[in-house]
Amino acid sequence: MTNIHPTAIIETGAELGENVTVGPYSIVGAQVKLGDGVRLESHVVIGGDTTVGANTHIFPFASIGLQPQDLKFKGEPSRLEIGFNNVIREHVTMNPGTEGGGLLTRVGNNCLFMVGAHIAHDCQIEDHVILVNNATLAGHVTVGEFAIIGGLSAVHQFVRIGKHAMLGGMSGVESDVIPYGTVTGNRAHLSGLNLVGLKRRGVDRETIHALRNAYRLLFAQEGTMAERLQDVAEMFKDNEPVMDIIRFIEGNGSRAICQPKMEDAA
């Protein structure tokens, strides 16, 4: 059964799964699809061609799926796909894609978006990601699984955030962040590995030790980055987390790789 408050507006064409709750004064647009067990608190607005996965919980005053904040957008049909088991807190905004980004913004599963977080057009967010209060992603940003974006941080368009990365609060990030890395500052610099996150997720000491050694070698001052990449890839070819970093750096990102300060690379 669904539970629709009398003051809610469900436009003709919207599709609601089983056990959906729509709270007071919420609006669900004609192209919206809500999966089983989705819960909308009061004053939630969901529009556009938007799919919300099962058991996602959306809090008051969230604005989901409305027109992207991109002057190039001319009303082309685009989508927002949100996975299951997400928590989307008050005043969160998520926009659909644009023609320049494949017409799709995608959010994975089991994510937490705290108060005031913003997901711009064409972002690609993997599973178990956390955006802390007022964290902001510009257009075309990709965020790997288990990454955490600190409060009041801002990520430049087209930046890639690797899996298990940690962005410190109030960071301004304009370069790609390696998997397992930690960045802080304005403009942000790489300040080491996300050791706390690795330990919390049960990564063994041997793997963490290998990651630390690989990090030091990758960001040493000797040789070129290409030479260091080749050396580290050969030395740690059987270590999957290290190879995650190698593949990320060798990937096709359009931004530079975020670098440590000289003293942090030692």
Active-site residue flag, 127: no
Rg of the chain taking only CA atoms, in angstroms: 20
Q: Kindly name the residue from 43, 118, 121, 156 that is annotated as catalytic.
A: 121
Active-site residue flag, 223: no
Q: Kindly name the residue from 97, 101, 116, 139 that is annotated as catalytic.
A: 139
Q: Kindly name the residue from 49, 122, 176, 244 that is annotated as catalytic.
A: 122
Active-site residue flag, 70: no
Residues marked as catalytic: 121-122, 139
